[in-house]
């Protein structure tokens, strides 16, 4: 026969177990990723709510631009919104490459996988989707030195304030805005944002390779 102290201890352990199970069930019911579903670092293609321009927002000044990057030379490109007189165009995208950022050629290049030597060049193309706050950087798979990564910044000052598309403004969701990466159409989105500066409505990330990038929640 169990002693009174044994039964008391067993009842206490049972109560603690019930509390733990209850907390686990509650946690499973939470949605840590917010409106889009998924988790904190990845989302299915339909699980990311990509920010879109606000009605009446100025157009981006160019939707397609390219430049030649050279190993050993620092490169910088900025894409702005069209100016709204008397103001100059606000910045939308900034891409910075350090002089040692270029590491390896992409797989679809004649020198696929080869290391960049000083003076080697590659043409980089940036394509903007005018319907969303997103950009595709090519050539896809171009690799950068993890110790000297490329840096990409996107700004959302002209985004629709209805961030999640539910029909009303969502200032409380601004903290959830981040920069996300998608390798190929249909692939999951991966969170890459590393610097969120809400005072300037921008998110900045370090890149080790190129693909499609978007601001979303």
Q: Which of 45, 46, 102, 52 is nearest to 72 (CA)?
A: 102
Residue 196 pairs with which residues in a beta bridge? 203
Q: Is the alpha carbon torsion for 208, 213, 214, 217 positive or negative?
A: negative
Q: Which of 206, 187, 183 is nearest to 107 (CA)?
A: 183
Q: Contact at 8 Å (CB) between 162 and 171? A: no
Residue 206 pairs with which residues in a beta bridge? 151
CB atoms within 10 A of CB 50: 20
Q: pLDDT category, 39, cuts 50, 70, 90?
A: low
Residue found by looking up tokens 């946690």 in the block: 27
Q: What is each CA distance from 185 to 45, 46, 48, 188, in whole angstroms?
A: 8, 11, 13, 9
Q: How far apart are CA 44 and CA 48, in angstroms?
A: 7
| Cis status, amide bond into 86, omega within 30 of 0 | yes
Q: Which of 23-27, 60-64, 152-156 has the lowest mean pLDDT?
A: 23-27
What is the reported pTM? 0.79
Q: Which of 12-26, 27-41, 50-64 has the lowest mean pLDDT?
A: 12-26
Instruction: For residue range 87-139, list pLDDT tens digits in order.
Output: 778 999 999 999 999 999 999 899 999 999 999 999 999 999 999 999 999 99
Q: Contact at 8 Å (CB) between 79 and 128? A: yes
Instruction: For residue range 173-216, list pLDDT tens digits in order.
Output: 998 999 999 998 899 999 997 788 888 899 999 999 999 999 99
| H-helix segments, the chain | 4-29
Q: How far apart are CA 136 and CA 212, in angstroms?
A: 4
């Amino acid at each position: 026969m169990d002693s009174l102290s044994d039964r008391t201890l067993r009842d206490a352990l049972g109560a603690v177990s019930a509390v733990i199970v209850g907390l686990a069930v509650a946690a499973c019911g939470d949605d840590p990723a917010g409106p889009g579903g998924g988790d904190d670092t990845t989302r299915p293609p339909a699980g990311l709510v990509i920010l879109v321009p606000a009605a009446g927002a100025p157009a981006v000044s160019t939707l397609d631009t390219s430049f030649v990057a050279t190993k050993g030379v620092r490169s910088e490109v900025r894409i702005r919104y069209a100016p709204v007189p008397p103001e100059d165009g606000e910045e939308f995208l900034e891409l910075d490459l350090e002089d040692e950022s270029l590491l390896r050629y992409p797989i679809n290049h004649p020198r696929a996988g080869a290391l960049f030597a000083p003076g080697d060049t590659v043409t980089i193309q940036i394509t903007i989707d005018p319907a969303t706050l997103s950009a595709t950087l090519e050539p896809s798979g171009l690799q950068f030195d993890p110790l000297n990564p490329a840096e990409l910044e996107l700004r959302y000052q002209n985004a629709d304030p209805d961030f999640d598309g539910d029909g009303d403004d969502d200032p409380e969701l601004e903290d959830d805005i981040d920069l996300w990466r998608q390798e190929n159409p249909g692939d999951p989105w991966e969170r890459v944002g590393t610097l969120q500066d809400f005072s300037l409505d921008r998110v900045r990330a370090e890149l080790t390779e190129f693909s499609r990038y978007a601001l979303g929640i």
